[in-house]
Structure 1
Amino acid sequence: MKIKIALFGRNELIERMNDYVDNQDDIEIIPFAYSKAVENIDLIDKAFMCDVYLFGGSLSYLYAKEKIERKRLPAIQVAFDEYMILTSFYRLKNYHNQELDRISIDVLYKEHVDEVISELQMEDREIYTYSYGDDAVLDIGKIFHYHKKLFQEGKIDYVLTSIEEVEQRLIDEGIPTSCMVIPKLNLERAVEKAKSIATLNKSKSAQIVSGFVQIKNFEDIVSKKGEFVAQEMLLKLHQILLKFGHKTYASVLTNGDNQFSIFGTRGILDHITNHYRDFPLLQEIARSLGVPVEIGFGLGLTAKQAEDNAKLALETCVHSEESSCFIVNERKETIGPLGVAKHVDTSELYHALIHRARLNNELSYNFIDFINLRNNEPFSANDISNYYQVTKRSAERTIHKLLAGEVIRVVGEEKPYVKGRPRKLFELTL
């Protein structure tokens, strides 16, 4: 079955992308053309049958970002990186006969321009950069007036913009300007990344989740409070689990003798991975029943594998006197306890990521979110790949930087469920 990629861009970009994927039988481009980037806010609702959302411009992505995050859509944007800036400088000098001096430029992140300027040893040139990725509110007018003011003050002779709408407004004002052209390499990488994400998500959706839930020390409750009270607790527990099953598209069965089974796929898996720190199910059961409970979840590619792993997770709960919940994944890795927030000094971690691992601001903040989301549990390069929605190779580059900066260390290996090398597990050194 073909991977359906929703492409949001102007007609020229869509035509270029169609030419590139013309001979690729495994993907299908579903075009969503716009004349103004703000139109993406509404266009994104029309792409519900697509596997992944690809944005051909930073501006179009930023307009849709709030909706993307709220709906947790698998979305990426064509990279506006150092390579794009470098090729834009080349075009500016050779096609437009403009010296790389007395110019202004707007980009998503200023760091990309700074790196190119440093690499080309152009620190003495008058190059002004506007970084709209730092703006709290996206305002095209603000970007336009930034360039216009510099031109009127006689500080620049030319504008290089990454936004077509800004280009048109500057041209209307008679200000020499041109818009960056996305390099073919960046388009190719974006398509490959989109394919990787879609393939990963389809694989993830096939994963089965099994769970067991039971009241801790149930026999003691029966002997102390009586059979009637104990059965009332089981009824309450069953009702809570049915509500949880409805929310996560999972099935809930009663095994009798104080045990319930849960079976599900993507819905329950997403819920679990989004609530490592504050597992609401555990809190609701504790409030309603007033007694400790044990919950074990297992992940697997088959129902039998998921059930066996859920039993292992449930056995881990025995070591706690309080309510507890653990997960054993398809690699026999135990995660938990869920709902117990582990302290992470985010200030110290951020400093280490910036100064020791040499990550940029965006990667640093994302990694901190990743650590907090997983509740500071050990992780693999595969987990990084899943979270960032990047290729495994890209995730491994991040891991290499973190190891080189001694921000993380190796603490073990995953037991693969297919043939191949075991994958390393890492944890913070802080």
Structure 2
Amino acid sequence: MKVKVAVFGQENSVNRIARYTESLEDVDIFPFIYKQAEETPALIQKAIMCDIYLFIGALPYLYAKPVIDKKRLPAVQVDYDPYMILTALYHVKNRYGNALERLSIDIPDTAHVADVLYDTGLDDHAIHTHGYGDDPHTAIGQIARWHEAMWRGGWIDHALTSIPEVAAFLNEKRIPASCMAIPKLNLMRAVDKAKSIAAVNRSQSAQIVAGHVRIKHFETMQAEKGGQHTQALHQTLHHVLLNYARKTHASVVATSDDQFVLFGTRGMLDHITSHYRDFPLLKNIESELATPVDIGFGLGLTAKQAEDNAKLALGTCANNEDGTCYIANERRDLIGPLGVKKEFNPSTLYRSLIHKAKLNNELSYNFIDFIEVRNNEPFSSNDIANYYGVTKRSAERTIKKLMAGDVIKAIGEEKPYVKGRPRKLFKLNQ
């Protein structure tokens, strides 16, 4: 079944995406063209039959965000990343030559400009940046007037904007300005991400898993060993993740030179929970790349929630010098690091199971194996039922005995399905 993608943007940008995706058999593009970004919220009301909403500009997404949040619509925006900024600077320099040094730039995140200036060695004192972030009340006129003030004050020779309306405003006043062209790579990455999210959202009854995978110390390696080395790492990592995605019925999308995103449901979740102790994906990646890699998995009832939680888990990895893997569940509780053995005392546990919980030998040994396999991570009665191969009712009886014997304690809940009650989570009381 084809994914119906509603694309919001100005005519030329929307036509580019339509042209790039003509050969794709799994995507249908539905164009929603505006002349002013403020028109976007009204256009959303006409896209009710689409699976996902793709915004080419940062500003139209900000205008549409209140509607997206209220209706919980699946949405993707094209990245305005360092690659796009670098491409725009190249075009400006190529057109005007080295005589053009002083620029004013507006962009959602000014940190991307700082990264580009650092990597290219350009004079950051000659580049003036204005970030409009994620403010839904961003005024086009305010940004345009900032560029105009920089020009009138003699601080710049040229204005480089991420907003077509700002470029038009400045050109009318005969202020030299150009709008950043969005690279094909960024457009196609957004389409790939939209396909992945839409495919996952079609299975809304199940818990969704997102995984962010990032090569550690990527920029340092790029500076020391060169782009050819890091490009080879990127390709190797992509190959490993594609193999993993096939095994777990997931999809993988490259979001930058050093990072990928995985989307999956039950298959990927089962693989993760079955390998808490010896997480093979992390070991396989580091073996193939010979460099540390961070992985953050997020669980959620929507792709957006899962991806936000994956970013939280990935951020936790930054606290470790070596490559690590964490999971953040729907409650944003962190589990991990995966692949690192969490010790417990089997002898003490066995005595508690026999004397306090009144379990027989077989059940006691099986429960110890269960805790070991899960690397002493939190569990639910459903996890016990799946591991023992018994009914949920039988697993709940075991939970009651363990609670009565003070062997385990309740620590929270998880909600792996849109409908139904949350599941209680437990862990050893050691």
TM-score, length-normalised on structure 1?
A: 0.53
Conserved 8 A contact 2:62-2:135: no
Pairs within 5 Å for 1:143-158: 143-158=143-158
Equivalent residue number for residue 21 of structure 2: 21
Q: State yes or no: 1:38 paired with 2:38.
A: yes
C-alpha change, 1:75 and 1:383, in structure 2 (3 Å) is same
State the Cα deviation string for residues 327-375 of structure 1 (Å, max 9, x = none): xx98998xxxxxxxxxxxxxxxxxxxxxxxxx9xxxxxxxxxxxxxxxx
State the Cα deviation string for residues 211-264 of structure 1 (Å, max 9, x = none): xxxxxxxxxxxxxxxxxxxxxxxxxxxxxxxxxxxxxxxxxxxxxxxxxxxxxx
Equivalent residue number for residue 2 of structure 2: 2
Conserved 8 A contact 1:100-1:125: no
Equivalent residue number for residue 52 of structure 1: 52
Percent of aligned pairs sharing the same letter: 42
Distance 2:16 2:179 in 1: 16
Pairs within 5 Å for 1:41-80: 41-80=41-80
Greater Cα shift, 195-204 or 117-126: 117-126
Please tell me the residue identity of whatever aligns with 1:381.
Answer: F
Please tell me the residue identity of whatever aligns with 2:93.
Answer: K
Distance 1:199 1:86 in 2: 32
Equivalent residue number for residue 12 of structure 2: 12
Equivalent residue number for residue 337 of structure 2: 410
Equivalent residue number for residue 381 of structure 1: 297
C-alpha displacement at 1:206, in angstroms? 6.4
Please tell me the residue identity of whatever aligns with 1:405.
Answer: N
C-alpha displacement at 1:118, in angstroms? 1.2
Unmatched segments (≥5 aa) in structure 1: 208-299, 302-328, 334-358, 360-378, 418-424
Distance 2:319 2:125 in 1: 33
C-alpha change, 1:119 and 1:99, in structure 2 (3 Å) is farther
Conserved 8 A contact 1:161-1:180: yes
C-alpha displacement at 1:198, in angstroms? 0.2
For residue 178 of structure 1, give the secondary structure of its aligned residue in structure 2. Answer: strand
Conserved 8 A contact 1:89-1:100: no
Equivalent residue number for residue 215 of structure 1: none
C-alpha change, 1:380 and 1:86, in structure 2 (3 Å) is closer
Please tell me the residue identity of whatever aligns with 1:6.
Answer: A
Please tell me the residue identity of whatever aligns with 2:337.
Answer: V
Conserved 8 A contact 1:85-1:113: yes
Equivalent residue number for residue 182 of structure 1: 182
For residue 174 of structure 1, give the secondary structure of its aligned residue in structure 2. Answer: coil
Distance 1:37 1:390 in 2: 28
Aligned residue-pair number: 254
Distance 2:197 2:121 in 1: 37
Distance 1:102 1:117 in 2: 13
State the Cα deviation string for residues 290-343 of structure 1 (Å, max 9, x = none): xxxxxxxxxx98xxxxxxxxxxxxxxxxxxxxxxxxxxx98998xxxxxxxxxx
Equivalent residue number for residue 233 of structure 2: none
Conserved 8 A contact 2:2-2:28: yes
Q: State yes or no: 1:114 paired with 2:114.
A: yes
For residue 101 of structure 2, give the secondary structure of its aligned residue in structure 1. Answer: coil
C-alpha change, 1:90 and 1:142, in structure 2 (3 Å) is same
Distance 2:68 2:96 in 1: 37
Equivalent residue number for residue 200 of structure 2: 200
C-alpha change, 1:122 and 1:332, in structure 2 (3 Å) is closer
Unmatched segments (≥5 aa) in structure 2: 208-264, 274-293, 321-325, 327-333, 339-374, 387-424
C-alpha change, 1:135 and 1:24, in structure 2 (3 Å) is closer
C-alpha change, 1:70 and 1:91, in structure 2 (3 Å) is same
C-alpha displacement at 1:41, in angstroms? 1.3
Please tell me the residue identity of whatever aligns with 1:403.
Answer: C
